[in-house]
Amino acid sequence: MSYIRTVEPSEATGEVAELYAEDLEDLGYVADYTRVMSMNPEAFRAFEDLMRTIAPNLGKRRYELVTLAAAQALHSTHCRLAHGHKCLTFMDADELERIARDYHDAGLSEAEVAMMEYAEKISTEAHTITESDTARLRDLGFTDREIVDITLAAAARNYFSRAIQALGAAVDVPADVSDRLRGALLAPL
């Protein structure tokens, strides 16, 4: 359980009740990170709105690969599991397991690997990024808009992951993430 007192689902009203209802519809339960972040529902909605402005330009696959890489760099069990679960809507568990264990050796394109390396670098040592990092992405076919969106997606993952880690949100394991896949998602952490 988190370090703060959260609203029980049976006691939720207004925007908090709406956030909880969305989790129930999407996940079948109210995630602990939702309970924690709903203590400031306006900030939580602002984060969701930000993600909705970034993800479409990248596409679901690229957005989730960036998220997995940033979450790995942040040692975020929460986000590796939650976004691993989301990846199962567009890739099979075997491909996801290979990516989770070592995306460098998972059959990804050179562009996808470079994008994930860039997301990791943002999450661990953003101060060392230079023009050569973005030039590499551009040389691999990314537009400047896509480079900005990759950067924003990784940076936003840093915000959210660090917040839920700092507030002690419990880790939820989605029911359809097998033990084997969970092990792969968490192995690099």
Instruction: Determine the pLDDT at residue 148.
Output: 98
Q: Check whether 1 has a pLDDT greater than 80.
A: no
Mean local confidence (pLDDT), 7-31: 96
Instruction: Determine the pLDDT at residue 176.
Output: 87
* 51-65 residue pLDDT tens: 999 999 999 999 999
The DSSP secondary structure of the chain, one letter per residue, reads --SS----GGG--HHHHHHHHHHHHHHSS--HHHHHHTTSHHHHHHHHHHHHHHHHHH-HHHHHHHHHHHHHHTT-HHHHHHHHHHHTTTS-HHHHHHHHHHGGGSS--HHHHHHHHHHHHHHHHGGG--HHHHHHHHHTT--HHHHHHHHHHHHHHHHHHHHHHHTTPPPP--TTS-HHHHHHHHTT-
Q: Check whether 67 has a pLDDT greater than 90.
A: yes
* 68-112 residue pLDDT tens: 999 999 999 999 999 999 999 999 999 999 999 999 999 999 999
